[in-house]
Amino acid sequence: MPKRTNQEWLAELKSPEHNQAGLSAHNQALVDLRALLVRGLGYAVANRYHVPEADLEDFAQEALLKILDGLDTFRGESLFTTWANKIAINVAFSELRRLRWKDVSLQDLVAPYEDSGDFTPEVLTDSSPSPEQRMNQRMMIEKVQEIINEELTDRQRTAMIAVMMEGMPIREVARRMGSNRNALYKLLHDARSHLKARMQLEGISPQKVLAAFE
């Protein structure tokens, strides 16, 4: 693979001149960049996450399209290949997050919380509190669960559980809920605002919640 300067990469990847030489240089640059992206993804992603070669090829192809669409945004502050590899890695991780949730339904995600009524993040639980701490924790948990059940709509609870408790990507949650990211951000913002207002009304501050689990 020939070494290219930033300027050469840009010149060859942009729309080729209407002659055979320009088209040939353009096509060769595409082939070389795609191979470079696959190799970079092999180092950055495949070894760590055991991603099949076929998936790397797909990630590289998707990244290549993004790179071609964004050529005018390259500012030359790094090597072109470094910039391109960062785009490919971002594409790969986004797709891996999506694939992780491919066979998980929102209902399966939400059902355990609704069945148990326990919306307490696992990070806040302590396996060995004192009897007094345990009592304080249980009272705090019950109050927080009561507030969540009374203040949030079904859609707000679903979004909160999927995004904030289970870590499903916002884009994926929005797609499954027939919405978009901006609308889901608004839904979560409203949910947090309702919870905060009710907790303040009840005299419960976030610091008090956390203090119960220290």
pLDDT digits (tens, 9 = 90+) for 57-72: 888 998 999 999 899 9
Q: Rounded to whole angstroms, how far apart are CA atoms 181 and 201? A: 30
More confident of the two residues 117 and 11? 11
Q: Give the mean pLDDT of the chain.
A: 78
The residue ranking higher by pLDDT, 112 or 186, is 186
- Kindly report whether the global pTM for this prediction surpasses the value 0.75: no
Q: Which two tokens stand for residue 19?
A: 């002659």
Range of the domain at 198: 106-211
For residue 60, give the CATH number of its domain. 1.10.1740.10
Percent of the chain with pLDDT over 90: 21
Given a cut of 70, whether residue 127 has pLDDT beyond it is no
Report how far residue 149's alpha carbon sits from residue 155's, in angstroms, rounded to the nearest whole number. Answer: 12
Q: How far is CA 70 from CA 17, 63, 83, 155, in A?
A: 19, 10, 11, 36
User: How far apart are alpha carbons 108 and 110 in whole angstroms?
Assistant: 6
DSSP letters for 108-132 = HHHHHHHHH-----GGG--SS--HH
Judge if 205 and 149 occupy the same domain. Answer: yes
Exposure string over 155-174, b if 16+ CB within 10 A, otherwise e: ebbbbbbbbebbebbbebbb
| Residue (of 177, 136, 120, 127) closest to 153 by Cα position | 177
Q: Are residues 94 and 149 in the same domain?
A: no
Same domain, 87 and 117: no
Query: Are 119 and 182 part of one and the same domain?
Result: yes
Amino acid 7: pLDDT = 93
